[in-house]
Amino acid sequence: MEFELTASMMCADFGHLEKEIRDLEAAGIDSFHIDIMDGRYVPNFAMSLNDLRYIRSATDKPLDVHLMIEHPNTHIDLFLRSLRHGDTVYIHPEAEYHPSTTLQSIINAGLTPGIAINPGTSVETVMEMLRIVDRVLVMSVNPGNAGQMYLPYVGQKVEHLIRLKEEMGFKLYWDGACSADKILEFAPKGVDGFVLGTTVLFGKDRPYADILQDVHALNI
């Protein structure tokens, strides 16, 4: 089974951010996940546009930018101008009056369009958008904070989306409470990638290379 691993940079040590990036690159991380939170769509503030720009300047790896903000179309050009071809931008459909317009802006900029689906959002309400995005990010926790508990009912939604992947033409990614057992269970079923935060990757007092080696060992 093949799967991608992306580092949730809101969990990184910002006092040594350049070292964190270098260590993760050396460990074999596939991409860097950037959570932008405005304190309105979610009850928390997280990474800023300047954080995104710094990480973009410090690595050649792809960025996955997860916009947890109200009305992203209002500010989307600021983010798009800070990214490169190959980077992904996820929006939450509920945060926008006309999400397809925002997704088209992402496509026109030559970036990878994606939607993030909250635990309480049904697949049926985003079905039309599944045909125009390249990536779907399934939230297994409510967005806004790291270190939350996995919501078991999300597993059925993931399996529903796995069945739609080929027809709709998107890749499927898992975000939130991503443990080794979830990777072992859902990667063989068809989940293409996993966002790693405090559950597996950060704050473990172990080298990132050792942790990622253990995770990749699940691929045997």
Q: Which residues are catalytic?
A: 35, 175
| Distance separating alpha carbons of residues 214 and 28, to the nearest angstrom | 12
Candidates 151, 158, 205; CA nearest to 177 is 151
**DSSP output for the chain:** ---EEEEEGGGS-GGGHHHHHHHHHHHT--EEEEEEEBSSSSSSB-B-HHHHHHHHHH-SS-EEEEEESSSGGGTHHHHHTT--TT-EEEE-GGG-SSHHHHHHHHHHTTPEEEEEE-TT--GGGGTTGGGT-SEEEEESS-TT-SSPPP-TTHHHHHHHHHHHHHHHT-EEEEESS--HHHHHHHTTTT--EEEE-TTTTTTSSS-HHHHHHHHHGGG-
**Which are the contacts of 60, defined by CB distance < 8 A and separation ≥ 6?**
none
What token pair was written down for 49?
Answer: 């546009």
